[in-house]
Every structure is written in structure tokens, then in C-alpha cells.
Structure 1
Amino acid sequence: MTTPIADPLELIAAYVGNARWFGGKGRPFALAGRRRLGRVPGSPGPDDAAEGPRAAIDLVTVDYADAVGGTEIYQLPLAFYGEPQEHLAHALVGMWEDEDFGPSHVYDAVHDRYAMAFWLNAFADPRDEGPLRFHRLPGHEFDLESHSTLFSGEQSNSSVAFGEDSLMKVFRKITPGHNPDISVHEVLTRAGSDHVAALYGWLEVEEDEASGSGGGVLQLAMLQQFLRTASDGWDLALTSVRNLFAEADLHADEVGGDFAGESARLGVALAETHASLQEHFPTHTWSTEQVTSLVDGMHRRLDAALDVVPELAEHADRLRATYDHVRRIRDLTVQQIHADLHLGQTLRTVRGWKIVDFEGEPAKPLSERLLPDSRWRDVAGMLRSFDYAPRVVERTVKESEYVGAEQRAFRAAEWAERNRGAFLSAYAGGELTVDQETLLSAYVADKAVYEVVYEARNRPGWVDIPLDAIRRIEKS
């Protein structure tokens, strides 16, 4: 192979900028640095004779050049070959003279089943050597003959299934500290929770302050149970709505695809998950000052949203009043929660509902995602999701496929009300207290304001979905 002369940083910048998981799309950026965390255990070294790949993990530092600015760190699992690999051409990062492996064709390793085998073997037999630390929980025997398959639909991370045995989530954007997706799954797995995919292990590295990341632990990946036959909760909800729309003379409780039973079972699953989290993580009682801070944060998010979506102005007074009712609450208990819960974060399996992705809201800094909050924030997220599902179907079906627009709108409202009620009743197990209703209403309003901004920026045609929800708050 001819020795490549290209600058690795330039090649990596081009690859990162076009990657699905890169969070800075549309922003001017430059790679300020690259460093190697280490070679994956089991991978041949630079001087070993081998025809397959060498595998290592690099981190790259992204500096943004716009007014917002800032720095982010991204993980690149890399596979190094001495010759080009046509079957990996779509995952080519570039060709360069690597400091460890010499002249190399370099690929994103998550696409390469030969390289991924090194990760799986390292989880199965973790060794206390080298900078990369693979941790394994007891109780699961790995299928080391299984081949890897990369999931193609993800946005912020990369997930790789190993046959039908396990699933590895590779965190692309890396923040120093303990990732709640790992810590929550570890606690719930050890507690025997039926409502999460069991955690099998995780990968991390400990860095000193001179590393450029600020030092401390960097958690890079987690390996967990692969729920191969599971169905996505969001997809199931959409199917239920379509079944309702297809029946001209039936109500939501009369359709064969009625979802209310599943909504109730999901409510029970969330209640039991919250109970486990409350048992195994610290709980706190917020002071008056902390409750005030919660409400002030809602006001700030509304202020920012008004700059993006001026139509919110006519509802601002009612929204602020909904927030301000929370100020009277005393002894507010907070705990570890999911913090980004919606139907897309749930899976229906033959053994019941599973809740996934405890990372928290990706846009928030890790320090904020680690903070406790009220469990009613999770409940509010689910209620908003139950409202979204029928409105999305209502807007995406063809006029000729189902009943007319007015009837679709009526049925969408009927489906949403039925499933919100079934979920909430099952979750609460009885009537809500005044404080619970107050807090839930504020969280629902806060979530709807967030959705208005998101839709205005990403799907303007859908902005009426959360706006309609806010109008209903106005009338309540």
C-alpha cells in the first residue's frame, strides 16, 4: 500500500460532519484535536502478523465557530486495515499514516463485524490491563460466535446487535462523568427489575486532568440484553390510531386495536420502575427555594420560546399562571427519574413493557441530567406522547384513506383522552392529590412549550400539535 499523506484531522472532520450522530450539523466547526484512548483488548498490535483489522478508540475535540461557540468531544471506534475493504467502503473514514499501525485504511469500526468481535470478547473476558476498562455483571453467558449488526435508525448514538444475544450502545458524544443510562440500568438490573433490558457490562476509561477532557471517568459504551422480538411503543400506538380511523362507526373502546389496556399496563410498569428508583437511589425533599427555582426555569423556557414562536404570546399569561401554582407546594419529593420519557422510549415484549434510554434529555449537560426531579415530569412526558400519536396520524394519512378531516380530529381527541386516562389511572392507582394535579399540569405545559419550539425549528407543519394542547390549557 502506498503511504497515505493525508492529514487525519481533515479526513475525520469530513466524516464526523456527515455522520448521523453528529450533534453540530449546520454549525461551523473545526477539529481542535484527536487522541487515542487505547487499543481494544484482543486486537492485534502494530507488530503482530494478522490479516484482519486492528481496532482502537480515538476521541476528537470539536470547536464551534459560531456565536454560541463551545466544545464537544466525540468517540470514534476505528478499524485499521492494510488494504482497502470494499464491503466497508461506506464506512471509510480515510487513509493515513497512523501513529500506531502505520499506513492504514481506516473505517468506523461499528460497521465491521470482525472489529466488533474484539469488543464482544473484551466484555466476555474483561482484563485489568491497558487504559480501556471493560466491566461485566454476573449472570449472563455471551454467545461469542454471534455476528454484529449495526442499527441504522439512531441519531445520537450507535447501537450494534450481536446476533440475538446482546446489544451494545456506543455513546458518540462523550461527557466526563457517569452516564445515567449505565448507572440506572446497573441498579435496576441488580435489583431484578422486569421493566428494563438487563445490563451486561460497560466500557470506560479513567483520564487525568492533562488529557484535555478535564479528567475523570469517561463512559464509552454499554452492553445489555437484546430485546429482539420487542415492538416499539410509538409504532404500536400509531397502529392503534390507524385502526380507529379505519372504522367508520366505532369508538376507541370498540375497535379491535384499542390501546387502552396497553396504556394501563405501561402506567403500572412506570410506577414500579419509579418505586425501584426511589428505593435504590437517594431521594430529596426540595426546599421552597428549590421549588421556586423549578418554576423560574419554566418561566425562562417560556421567555425563550416566545422569541421563536410569537403565537405563544396569547397563551403566555395562562401558562405562567399554571407554572406559578406550583409555588404553593411544600415538601416536594424528588428522585432519580427517566427525564426524557415518551412512547418512543418504550418497548412491548412478550413479558411486558420495557423502558429504555435512561440518558436523560440529550440537549442538556450531563450535570443537569444527573439531578433528581419529580416523577411527575416522566408522567407528563408520557401524557404528551399519548396526545401526539393520534395527531401525527391525523396529519399524515391521505384524505381518501380514512374518514374526513373533522371526523379524524374527533377520533384523535377521543383516542388521546382514552389512553391518557388509562395510563394515568393505572400509574397513580387512585385519585391524584391537589398538589399532584398542580405539578402534573405545570410539567405538561412546560413540555408542550418545549415541543412548540422543536416543531417550529424542525417540522413547522406540526407546530399546531403542541399549540392545540396549549390552547386546551387555556380553556381548562
Structure 2
Amino acid sequence: MTESRTTRALAPALKAYIDSARWFGGKGRAWKVGRVRQVGTLPGSTADLTVVVELVEIIYAEGEPETYQVPLAFYARQQDRLGHALVGTIDAADGGPLFAYDAAHDRDAMDLWLRAFAAAADGKVTADDLAFHRVAGHVLDTEAHSTLFTGEQSNSSVAFGEDSLLKIFRKVTPGVNPDVSIHEVLTRAGSDHVAELYGWLDVVDETTNSTIQLAMLQQFLRTATDGWELALASVRNLYAEADLHADEVGGDFAGEAARLGRALAETHQTLAENFPVATRSADEMSALADAMRDRLRAAIDVVPALANHVEVLEATYDALAALGDVPVQQVHGDLHLGQTLRTVKGWKIVDFEGEPARPLAERLLPDSPWRDVAGMLRSFDYAPRVVTMTSFALDPGVDEEGQQAYRAAEWSKRNAQAFLASYAERELSGTEQILLAAYVADKAVYETVYEARNRPSWVEIPLDALDRLSRDRTESA
């Protein structure tokens, strides 16, 4: 890596561009551009188009610095077609201007990425410090045009025709990215429940003497439908049939929920067979319960209504702390309906990076598979509530008699039960019930804080879930 020529000349423009980017996670915080390092120049670059990968250090007024990847396409002439992606200009060696654009938006620039991966075939090719790795088996379509997806938040994804999908990691950290490592293992194991990994791009960071993974290339699931959107469509179908129950409408989701439960179970099994399986000791379980209590106390400062649930939540965490040794393994770590895709060949699970807010070192640690199950159960609770709240916002009188609230609960319960029954295929043990209850409660507490800060009108969704938890515990006591 070298100190980038953009360090001084482009730093102000980089700051403005990054601050406005959807993938930047530091919005609202005071920060400045620190060191800008040029990782390398992509093979195939010319005098007319030079594509480089820059790593930009973000120095916050408070908190630890972060590093973001900004691939840039430099042109000697202004490109009107890329005006929306202009980062800034710098002086060229001949004194003229060089126009810098975010390369993810540029088909010509992305073509260089695709061809570099194709050149790697079933091994590795290097360019400067860049290393393009390939998994053997798939022949890339190098004639495919790129299309940038616009809906993502934390990364940038570029489809190459209907053949492959490139995910550019924006926030990068030294170490193995679990999205790459897990996809590689599941691909080589022949898993039917992930998009095949075709390759990845990384660089060795001389500062930390560790690998930084910059991007991954995978199978493009062109027939896929987002699991969250499918669930919302099912709820809307239910609400449109006022006299029918969830199991009576054409859009009943329970069959899909069951198939999704089986897909997750098989994925967990493959992960357990190919990654180390460990044991979390009784002392570690007690520490996990303490961490959940700490999150609860911090959450009450943000959402005071959580104080009404302290007694029940403490009892849930006490039960967790009392468990003995518990097996742990590699898991997804941030699973919900939005991390699933339904294809003609079944359910696929995506985005194995784990919870983005957690440090990479924590995301790489083994965990209980019941964390993933809990995330899906919370997602089944969210879907009908979101449709209800949207309907109410459009027509405040839509649910005057509480019918949608009743039917929302019915939909959630039916699909959660179908998912859980298919996942476990047996009655849960007492330990499993305690683990699942604790992870569900911890997730709901996290959701209250997230909603209070980002979507205040939605905070009632997790609070209502905690109300039900309190009622259920009271009735079973």
C-alpha cells in the first residue's frame, strides 16, 4: 500500500462524498479524513481510465477510527453519465484535471474488476497489493454489463448480467470477513442454501500484518424474491380476506416458513461439520447473562418503558445464567427474513457478516444456533405489525375494532410455530427453551433501542412482544 495521491488534494471532496453515501455508518458524528492509502491499480487500467482502490481512514471526534473502502475511477475527461457519482477532481501530472468517480457506478470500471476475477480462473492473480482469488468450477461471463443495486445500506452490490454478483465491502477491518469464509466453506461443501462463492478480493495490510478482505463475487440469484417482501405480501393477502384465518387464505406463509426452518437447520448442520464446535462453560453462560443485563440497563436509559419488564427479563437472564455447559458453533449471527431469498430451487440464506455493530473479532466467535432461530422468530413478529402500522397510517380508522391486531398475532404465531417445528423436528429440551427465550428477549431489547433512535413509531412492536413475554411467564407460573 502507498500513501495515496488523493490524500491532500481529494480529502475534502472525499469527506463530502462519504458523508452523503448510504453505506457510511458514521452519519451524525463529527469526523475527519485521516490517512488515505492506495491499495492498488486494477489490471487493464489505461491513461484514459485508471481504476484504483482507496482505503480511507475515518477519524471520529469521539470513538475509535474506522476504515472505508472507496474504489475510484479516474478519467481525464468529465463523464456526464457519471455526474451523480463524482467524488471530486485533482490535478493530473500534465497539469490538466483528473475526474474521480465512485467506480461502483461505472460499467467500464467494473468491467476491469470482472476481468481480473476471470483471469484468476481457479487460483489467484495479483495486481500491486491486490489479490483476486477464485473458487474453481464456474466460468464467468466477461461480456456481462454491470448494474449497481441502489437499495443497500452498508455495502455496494453490483450484478454482472444474470451471471454473478459482486459485493464491495465498504467498511473494512483487518481479519477474515465471515461473509467470505462461511460462503467459501458452504460452497465447497455443496450447500443448497447459499449462493455459490465464485471468488474474493483481498490485500495484506502491512500496518497490522493481516488480510483485509475487500469484496466477494458470488452466484447471482436472478429468480430470487426477498423473504421479507414475501412475508409482507402474505400478510396483505390475509388482511384482504376479512373473514378468513391465516391457514385459509391463498397466501398462507406457513409452508414457506417450514421450508425456511429446514433450510436453516441444514445450514447449521453443515456449519457444525466444517467449523470448530466448542462448549460455552457455565461461567461463560453466566457472563452472557450479565452482558444481556448490561444491555437492558443501557436500553432503559433510551426507552424508559422497558423498566416495566425488568422483573420478567431478569428472571429470563437468571435462567440462562444457571445453565451448565452449552454447545456453540459457527452461526449466521444476524438472521432475519431480510437475510433470506426464495428461489425456484428453495430458500437461500445471505449476508453472513454477522451483526454489523459488533466488532469483527466478536462476530467470528462461535455462538448458539438458537441466536439465529430467535432472530427469525422476531422477524415473524415484525412482518404483520409493520403491515398493520402502514395500513393505519394510510387510514387511521382501518383497525378500530382491533381485528388486524388479532390477525397479526395469529399470523405471527402460525408461522413461528411452523418454522420452529420444522427447524427442530422434535420437542425442545429445557435448556433449548431457556436459550431461545433469552435470545428472543435480548433481541427485543435491542430492537427497542434501534426503533427509538431510528423509527420511533415502531418501538411499540418490540415493547408489545415483551408484554406478551411477561403475560406468558405470569400465566405459566
* Contact residue 246 and residue 402 of structure 1 kept, 8 A: no
Is contact 2:174–2:205 with CA below 8 Å preserved after alignment?
no
Aligned equivalent of 1:12, options 11, 14, 31:
14
Q: 1:474 to 1:207 in 2, by over 3 A?
A: same
Alignment of 1:210-225 (within 5 A): 214-225=208-219
What secondary structure does 1:358 align onto? coil
Q: Is the 8 A contact 2:287 2:321 kept in 1?
A: no
Match of 2:415 among 413, 416, 419: 419
Deviation, structure 1 residue 35 = 1.1
Q: CA deviation at 1:399?
A: 3.2
Specify which of 221, 235, 246 is matched with residue 227 of structure 1.
Answer: 221
Which amino acid is 1:469 matched to? A
Which region of structure 1 is more displaced relative to structure 2, 292-301 or 183-192? 292-301
1:3-27 Cα distance to aligned partner (Å, 9 max, x none): x998311111111111110111011
- Calculate percent identity across the aligned residue pairs: 62
1:177 aligns to what? Answer: 175
Structure 2 counterpart of 1:72: 66
Gap runs ≥5 in structure 1: 45-49
Q: Deviations over 1:288-340 (max 9, x none)?
A: 11111111111111011011011111111110110110122222000000000
Q: Summarize deviations over 1:426-447 as a string: whole Å, max 9, x none.
A: 0000110111001100000000
RMSD: 1.7
Deviation at 1:215, TM superposition (A): 3.1
1:186 to 178, 181, 184: 184
SS in 1 for 2:402: helix
1:408 maps to 404
Match of 2:136 in 1: 138
1:255 corresponding residue in structure 2? 249
Could you tell me whether the CA contact under 8 Å between 2:203 and 2:213 is conserved in 1? yes
Aligned-partner SS, 2:247: helix
Q: Hey, what does 1:363 align to over in structure 2?
A: 357
TM-score by length of 2: 0.94
| 1:381-432 per-position Cα deviation (integer Å, ceiling 9, x unaligned) | 0000000000000100133896655100000000000000000000000110
Q: Following the alignment from structure 2 to structure 1, what is the Cα–Cα distance between the partners of residues 155 and 409?
A: 34
User: How do residues 54-133 of structure 1 correspond to structure 2 at under 5 angstroms?
Assistant: 54-65=50-61, 68-97=62-91, 103-126=97-120, 127-133=125-131
Question: Residue type matched to 2:134 in 1?
Answer: R
Note the 1:181-330 alignment, pairs <5 A: 181-209=179-207, 214-330=208-324
Give the aligned partner of residue 328 of structure 2: 334
How many Å separate the matches in 1 of 2:194 and 2:84? 33
1:246–1:403 contact (8 Å) kept in structure 2: no
Give the Cα separation in 2 of the matches to 1:438 and 1:34.
48
Residue type of the partner of 1:135? Answer: H
Name the counterpart of 1:388.
382
Contact 1:245 1:403 in 2 (8 A): no
- Counterpart Cα distance in 2 of 1:70 and 1:35: 18
How many residues align? The count is 461
Q: Is the 8 A contact 2:246 2:252 kept in 1?
A: yes
Contact 2:195 2:350 in 1 (8 A): yes
SS at match of 1:252: coil
Q: 1:169 to 1:186 in 2, by over 3 A?
A: same
Q: Is this contact kept in 2: 1:248–1:403, CA < 8 A?
A: no
Give ranges in structure 2 of 5+ residues lacking alignment: 1-5, 473-477
